[in-house]
Structure 1
Amino acid sequence: MKRICLALPTNRPCAATITAAHGEAAWAAEQFGVEVHLLVLDSCTGAELAEHAAVLAALPHRPGVVAHHLDEPAQRRFLRAVIERAVPGTGRAERLLELMLPAGVSYGACTNRAFLIAAALGCESVHRRDSDSRYQELDGETIHPLRHELDLLGRPAGEVAPRATRAVLDPAMAARPVSLVGGSFLGEMSVDVGEIRELSPQVYQDVVALYAPGELDGVRKRWLASRSFTGAGGGAFTADRSTLGAFDPYAVEMCNIALAGEVYQRVPLPPATDTIGSDYFLIHLVHDAKLPGAVHNRHILNYYTPERRTEQGFLAYQVRFVKFLLSMLQLNHVRERTARAGAELLDERHRLRADLVAGIVRESLELDPAPNRGRLAVLDRGYRELGGRYAEVADLVADRSAELLDGARADMADFALLLADWDAMIRACDHVVPGGPN
């Protein structure tokens, strides 16, 4: 029986989302005859962790659904066993463990942990949801993204093209496997910059455009800023639509995505800490490598959790946004090079060539940091113009500017280190049981 992993990383209370994800798992097992491993990677502690455990324990048994609830100590035991088997005697084990389970928030690292655990469970794909997500409904029926993910993922694009409502397939793509299936979200912006847009459209334009590649002209930067972080707009689901082939990477969100094992078992995500957007790397890599993907309209409902509304949450999130802008110095270079390489990033079996990706990542470490100093200057002017709590962010960033600039490069160096050992870690997963004894 085909196994898949429905992954839900969380560091906040999300009992309702866990229940909803279990419902999607049960639906998929019944409709598609697959074995769904519902994986809750829980970074909560105390009462919040206990609440999640109680919710999972109370869920009804559903044929074909296996639930796994791993707190951070259980995740650490699994990772240590994998890493020590993968790189014995090298002295890198502790550093790799830090990259996989860092002290700070890391969107890439939590998803990398899901990738390794999925490999250990024998799953063919990872389907990720987020703790601040809900599903749409139509006429009392829940709209599950797994419908398109299981219909299309992992098989040659030419073979599954009739299952999509629209196919835009270059003949060269027909034999390549569908490697990504995703949708977007409806609701609040995925990044906390909506208030900036309301306060000053010009500052919003200036700040958001900082993540665009430097070679884009003003018109294209304005276009990119206008559509960034806004999801699929306000249109609710009425009927299925899916497009297969070359896809728009900006139309896919990590709260609503499925990736084939041949993608994430070859290349992980950047493990950058306290940086939004680090988990979007593989979306662009799949696109640039000319692997077929599918975009559908079973969009997730997005909302902001209460913590992000607090002053402490606001400041923490804005620093993550700043680090995201700084990360684009290296990431834009990598994306430009992978886009130029195209299908050369694939081997004869249509698999990603991790060695080429690693070489491009290492290249980016040699870039002059001057453009990032320019990014900080633009952001400082804009946030001080906004005033209020944005001026506080400007003060905080100014005080930490050297640390933030060094951190952006260090994050990419960490990615290069992880890339070097990722294949060995994936292979080691064959011998380690998630949640097993210490």
Structure 2
Amino acid sequence: MNQICLCLPTNRACPATITALHQEAAYAVRRFGADVHLLILDSADARTRAVHRQALAALPEVPRVTVHHMDEDQQRARLRALIDSAGLPADLLDLLLPAAVSYGACTNRAFLFAAALGCRSVHRRDSDSTYQLHAGEPVFPIHHELPWLGRPAAEATAAGLHTELDPAHAHRPVSLAGASFIGEPSVDIDEIRCLDPAVHHDVVSLWAPVDWSRERKRDLVVESFTGAGTTPFTGDRSTLTLVDPMRVDMCNVAFDRAVYERVPLPPATDTIGSDYFLLHLVHDATLPGILHNRHIENFHTPERRTPTGFPAYQRRFVKFLLSMCHLHHVYDRMTATGAALLDDDGRVRPEPITEFIRESTTLDTAENLWRLDRLDTAYRKLGGKYADLADRLVSERDQLLGEARSDTAAHADLAEAWPALIRATRA
């Protein structure tokens, strides 16, 4: 059966997004004959969940669209049963449903629930984004996601899809389809650029490998977090290629089950960008993907700029920068291994990935001390609330350094357990 999971993890009020997502699900049924499991993973408070239930109750019934609205208590119960049936340690639940915000963990839960539902792909959207309109109609990304996922890339080429793919990879399955966003930058740090472009450069360049040249870091800063710019959709373009992770955002992506059922995302808490790992894996393993231009429109919620929201969000950004010490090692190892990451059927082999992640926990993290020093200097130049943030980071320095390593170790632990979890979901 052509069963897919269209998923929205959320911890904020988003009834309009839920309504729009249901419209995309109906489009998938009409256009492609899909059976859609619309999965809302709701981590919002009780009052907000009630608003979401009202929005769902008001939706028209669409044959072949099944809605699943799960709060954290429901998710926890199902995950606990899954862990028990897999014979895994109970504390694994903390990696799948941590108390703190985790972009990777919420998407991992979507992967597990999609596997339990028998879905062949997961299509992820976010609550702080919306669909573009063209000629009065929503521009649904699923238009490009559904036709080829899981099928040999050569079939897409034979059907006339524009390709930049090396013929050597054409026998492999299309494993990803994605696009980016237009509108506000994906990371809410544009205020830094407005205050001092030089400081913005210094801060953003810290997510590059430390041995990159000044020129490469400058180029990275220019394109970081900008998505597809601001130009609205005017017509469809799509390309079969090895998809550059910098060209796809996790609010606008679909993965084939042969990827997400093999390796999980990092379950790091309070860290932005922890859900982008599989984009790198698909690219580095030379798995074909489709890059299209049905970009989603991004916006920032006001909470990130409140007196409590600002330091919390900026701390997540700092933890993202510190995570790079470990992730760059894993990405380098995956790039060097290339197609050897795949088995004979073109599926990802999880064992080497787990090994690379585990290796990265043993690295010398002196470069993270350097990153924190650079951040301290940058934030104090800006003054005001950024100087206050610098003071907070000084007081939490040891904790931040420890969390970067322990988050990586947690990813390795989850990756080791993942095959057993997937087997349990199928049972």
Quickly name the TM-score band, shorter chain normalised: over 0.9
Correspondence 1:68 to 2:62: no
Structure 2: 5+ residue stretches without partners: none
What residue in structure 1 maps to residue 234 of structure 2?
238
Local SS of the residue matching 1:269: coil
Correspondence 1:300 to 2:331: no
What residue in structure 2 maps to residue 261 of structure 1?
257
1:46, 1:280 → 2: CA distance? 29
2:72, 2:159 → 1: CA distance? 40
Deviation at 1:311, TM superposition (A): 1.9
What code does the residue aligned with 1:307 have? E
Aligned match for 2:173, one of 172, 177, 181: 177
What code does the residue aligned with 2:348 have? L
Deviation at 1:163, TM superposition (A): 5.0
Deviation at 1:166, TM superposition (A): 2.0
Aligned match for 1:364, one of 352, 360, 370: 360
Deviation at 1:165, TM superposition (A): 4.7
| TM-score after normalising by structure 1 | 0.96
2:255, 2:29 → 1: CA distance? 18
Local SS of the residue matching 2:276: helix
| TM-score after normalising by structure 2 | 0.99
Aligned match for 1:132, one of 128, 133, 147: 128
Aligned match for 2:182, one of 173, 182, 186: 186
Aligned match for 2:216, one of 213, 217, 220: 220
Contact kept, 8 Å, 1:96 with 1:418, in 2: the verdict is yes
Deviation at 1:263, TM superposition (A): 0.2
Alignment of 1:252-401 (within 5 A): 252-401=248-397
1:165, 1:185 → 2: CA distance? 22
Query: Could you report, residue by residue, the CA deviation over 1:83-125 in whole angstroms, capped at 9, with x for unpaired residues?
Result: 111125xxx22x2100000000000000000000000000000
2:157, 2:397 → 1: CA distance? 49
What code does the residue aligned with 1:47 have? R
Deviation at 1:215, TM superposition (A): 2.5
1:328, 1:16 → 2: CA distance? 35
What residue in structure 2 maps to residue 435 of structure 1?
none
Correspondence 1:120 to 2:104: no
What code does the residue aligned with 2:37 have? H
Contact kept, 8 Å, 2:205 with 2:218, in 1: the verdict is yes
Aligned match for 2:157, one of 155, 161, 172: 161
Contact kept, 8 Å, 1:165 with 1:241, in 2: the verdict is no
Runs of 4+ displaced beyond 6 Å: none
Contact kept, 8 Å, 1:87 with 1:421, in 2: the verdict is no
Local SS of the residue matching 1:311: coil
Deviation at 1:306, TM superposition (A): 2.1
2:67, 2:47 → 1: CA distance? 20
What residue in structure 2 maps to residue 59 of structure 1?
59
What residue in structure 1 maps to residue 243 of structure 2?
247
What code does the residue aligned with 2:24 have? E
What residue in structure 1 maps to residue 144 of structure 2?
148
What residue in structure 2 maps to residue 49 of structure 1?
49
2:209, 2:257 → 1: CA distance? 29
Contact kept, 8 Å, 1:164 with 1:243, in 2: the verdict is no
Local SS of the residue matching 1:368: coil
Change (3 A) 1:303 1:196: same
What residue in structure 2 maps to residue 434 of structure 1?
none
2:400, 2:186 → 1: CA distance? 23
What residue in structure 1 maps to residue 400 of structure 2?
404
Change (3 A) 1:396 1:179: same
Deviation at 1:152, TM superposition (A): 2.3
What code does the residue aligned with 1:260 have? D
1:50, 1:32 → 2: CA distance? 32
What residue in structure 2 maps to residue 14 of structure 1?
14
Contact kept, 8 Å, 2:210 with 2:367, in 1: the verdict is no
Deviation at 1:278, TM superposition (A): 0.4
Aligned pairs, number? 427
Contact kept, 8 Å, 1:29 with 1:36, in 2: the verdict is yes
Query: Greater shift after overlay, 283-292 or 305-314?
Result: 305-314
What code does the residue aligned with 1:420 have? E
State the percentage of identical aligned residues.
Answer: 58
1:55, 1:397 → 2: CA distance? 40
Query: Could you report, residue by residue, the CA deviation over 1:235-286 in whole angstroms, capped at 9, with x for unpaired residues?
Result: 1100100111222110000000000000000000000000000000000010
